[in-house]
């Protein structure tokens, strides 16, 4: 199970990195289109979609590698049982909020699909398509937070080090 979860986080991180590269390509295409006197309709919309995809897909990967901002100022001063309880409390609240957000992100995709909602930009993209990256990213992030919560609750220790490295 550990390999599957770590693989999922890595795959999402790679997808996020690829979305960032596509964002770069869209911006470069827009620059060259302006330079050539051409138009690239919907380019700003596409750039926004890929920026959102890169952000949401990278959430779990970043958490797993200690890149999220944590309350280390307090946690590093605690030891033993007090630290474990503080980490459990933080991860429990984070997991709850992540699952709450994931539920509504998935619901937004479903509603957008059912009502055939399209973007208001020139591209007229069915809005559920870019929303899908947000929904998938938040679900995987909620899984990652729950994974870390369960590891600490079961006494296996945190995989996130104080220095931002995976232990």
The pLDDT tens digits of the residues spanning 27-66 come to 999 999 999 988 888 888 899 999 999 999 999 998 888 7
In a domain, 87, yes or no: yes
Q: Is residue 142 part of a domain?
A: yes
- Does residue 25 form part of some domain? yes
The per-residue DSSP string of 40-109 comes to -TTHHHHHHHHHHHHHHHTHHHHHHTT-S---HHHHTT--HHHHHHHHHHHHHHHHHHHHHHHHHHHHHH
Task: Give CA–CA dist 63/98, Å, rounded.
Answer: 12
- pLDDT grade, residue 159 (50/70/90)? low
Give residue 148's domain range: 2-153
Q: pLDDT tens digits, residue range 59-83?
A: 999 888 877 766 667 777 878 888 8
Domain assignment present for residue 166? The answer is: no
pLDDT attached to residue 161? 52
Q: Is residue 33 part of a domain?
A: yes
Residue 89 forms part of a structural domain: yes
Domain count, the chain: 1
Q: Is residue 165 a part of any domain in this protein?
A: no
Could you tell me if residue 116 is inside a domain?
yes
């Amino acid at each position: 199970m550990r390999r599957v979860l770590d693989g999922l986080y890595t795959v999402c991180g790679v997808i996020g990195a690829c979305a960032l590269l596509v964002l770069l390509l869209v911006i470069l295409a827009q620059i060259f289109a302006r330079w050539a006197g051409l138009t690239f309709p919907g380019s700003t919309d596409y750039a926004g979609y890929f920026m959102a995809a890169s952000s949401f897909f990278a959430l779990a990967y970043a958490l797993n590698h200690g890149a999220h901002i944590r309350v280390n100022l307090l946690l590093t001063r605690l030891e033993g049982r007090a630290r474990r309880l503080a980490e459990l409390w933080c991860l429990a609240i984070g997991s709850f909020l992540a699952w709450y957000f994931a539920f509504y992100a998935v619901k937004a995709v479903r509603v957008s699909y059912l009502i055939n909602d399209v973007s208001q930009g020139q591209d007229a993209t069915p809005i559920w398509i870019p929303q899908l990256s947000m929904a998938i990213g938040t679900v995987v992030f909620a899984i990652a937070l729950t994974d870390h919560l369960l590891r600490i609750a079961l006494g296996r220790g945190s995989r996130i080090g104080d220095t931002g490295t995976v232990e």
